[in-house]
Amino acid sequence: MIIAVDGPAASGKGSLAKRLSAHYHLPHLDTGLLYRAVGQRLLLEGRSLTDTEAAISIAQSFVPEWLNHPNLRSREAGKAATAVAIIPGVRKALKDFQIAFTRNPNGAVIDGRDIGTVIAPHAHVKLWVTADPHIRANRRYRELVAKGQDVSEADILSDLAARDANDAPNMIMADDAFIVDTSPMSLEQAFARVVEICENRKPNQTQPH
């Protein structure tokens, strides 16, 4: 079973994807990390985030080992990811790696922005996980405060709005995606809902086309 989990930043898609991967014993790829790795390397090489040629050449030399870098989830890497993700040559260079991941014989859980449309349009389950921007900002705020970071909720809200605007061209909901608005839900409730959707869409229960 291939499960595509798309949606905006801080919608809860990452946590749901991780739990789905454990529940169904399927490998999980967080594709945001690929863009973060490319953006971070651009910074490490001392390049500007607008250096399109350098970003494409870094993306073309991407190796999975880069995903183990400890700072990939930092705010700085997130901003760099957003900058390189709008470059078509970068998206193209990272595409094959993502497609190869979906070819695992038992399937995969893969989360991002364009998985159900560009990377795995054949996925058995396509989830579009979303939430009200204020709720997303509040969740992210509490997460960062719990990690001891000194942040303001208003700054996080404006960061998210900027990321949404920047990501919009590549954040594409598939026509056959199930929308899961996690605004009124706890993680437990959202997980129960996505498992219910997956159970109904399991390959052996899918009607032949």
Site for ligand C5P, rule CB under 6 A: 9, 31-32, 35-36, 78, 81-82, 85, 112-114, 163, 167, 170
Nearer to ligand C5P, 96 or 196 (CB): 96
What's the closest the beta carbon of residue 75 comes to ligand C5P, in angstroms? Answer: 10
Query: For residues 207 and 209, what is the distance between their CA atoms, to the nearest angstrom?
Result: 6
Query: For residues 113 and 13, what is the distance between their CA atoms, to the nearest angstrom?
Result: 10
Kindly state the DSSP code that residue 68 receives in the 8-state scheme.
G
What does residue 127 show for φ and ψ, rounded to 5 degrees? Answer: -110, 140
Residue ranges of E strands in the chain:
2-6, 28-30, 108-112, 125-130, 178-181
What's the closest the beta carbon of residue 204 comes to ligand C5P, in angstroms? Answer: 28
Query: For residues 49 and 80, what is the distance between their CA atoms, to the nearest angstrom?
Result: 7
Residue type, 24: Y
């798309």: which residue's tokens?
A: 6
What's the closest the beta carbon of residue 207 comes to ligand C5P, in angstroms? Answer: 29
Nearer to ligand C5P, 64 or 203 (CB): 64
Nearer to ligand C5P, 85 or 93 (CB): 85
What's the closest the beta carbon of residue 209 comes to ligand C5P, in angstroms? Answer: 26
Query: For residues 200 and 207, what is the distance between their CA atoms, to the nearest angstrom?
Result: 11
Nearer to ligand C5P, 7 or 206 (CB): 7
Nearer to ligand C5P, 50 or 200 (CB): 50
What's the closest the beta carbon of residue 43 comes to ligand C5P, in angstroms? Answer: 14
